[in-house]
Amino acid sequence: MRESNRLLGLMLDELAGSIRPGMSARDLDDHAGRILESFGVPSNFKGYEGFPANICVSVNDRVVHGIPTKDTVFSDGDIVSVDAGLIYEGYHSDAARTFPVGEISPEVRRLIEVTERAFFEGIAKAVPGNRIRDISAAIGACADRNGIGIVRELTGHGIGTSLHEKPFVPNYPGKIFTGKLKAGMTAAIEPIFTLGRPDIEYNEDEWTIQTQDGSWAAHYENTILITDGCPEILSMGERERERTAEYEKILCESR
């Protein structure tokens, strides 16, 4: 699991540095394919229930599962959510980032920042003896106090020798009946927030999920390992770790 996620973190760092105005979503997917080939590993998204690409690329009001096409061209001011994973010796990784393209509005930048912060506040509760609902409540509280919409139909999940395993990890509090968390468990935690209403729908390609009201959405995800102490983020490359150093203080200070 560590190696699978280490490679994924490297790939996402590389993709982050390549996104620019005028680039197409297909170009980004092709770049991801070349990186995967250099690692000698397959995407765990391509072919999953028929998904046709290496990564999901969702722009602006597209929430998740966007099919990267040549007709989707990034413009200055857009945001691009990239969801990706791979398989290393039978073990899966899964992570997502929302990247700005050029200069974005303060409102949209705040959406991205709140989504990222919610991830760290959530995993601060991912310690032995707590339950899934503790993670979910922390993520939801972060969204609520910032006036951000929470997409309820999409959740985090367990991960290991399969991409999606139990338990599911919602991004809002509720009556979630699971056992206590234990060291050694791995999960993909992924806040998915919107600037407007959280209602979603499928578009015509039957894969891409978008907001019903056209509001923009952000997605931030990492695969984590629950330890006897502070949870370990497995899918974070050095570039991303440096960028989010301030958020990681939340995690350290909580212990």
The pLDDT value given to residue 249: 74
In the chain, where the domains are located: 2-253
The pLDDT value given to residue 174: 81
Asked if 91 contacts 165 with a C-beta cutoff of 8 angstroms, the reply is no
CB atoms within 10 A of CB 202: 11
The pLDDT value given to residue 255: 52
The pLDDT value given to residue 214: 97
Cα–Cα distance measured from residue 140 to residue 192, given in angstroms and rounded to the nearest whole number: 10
The helix/strand/coil state of 31 is helix
pTM of the model: 0.96
The pLDDT value given to residue 136: 97
Phi then psi for residue 30, to 5 deg, are -60, -40
Cα–Cα distance measured from residue 244 to residue 233, given in angstroms and rounded to the nearest whole number: 12
Question: H helices within the chain, ranges in order?
Answer: 2-16, 25-39, 106-123, 132-145, 238-243, 245-253
Residues in the chain predicted with pLDDT less than 70, given as ranges, are: 177, 251-255
Which CATH class for the 2-253 domain? alpha beta
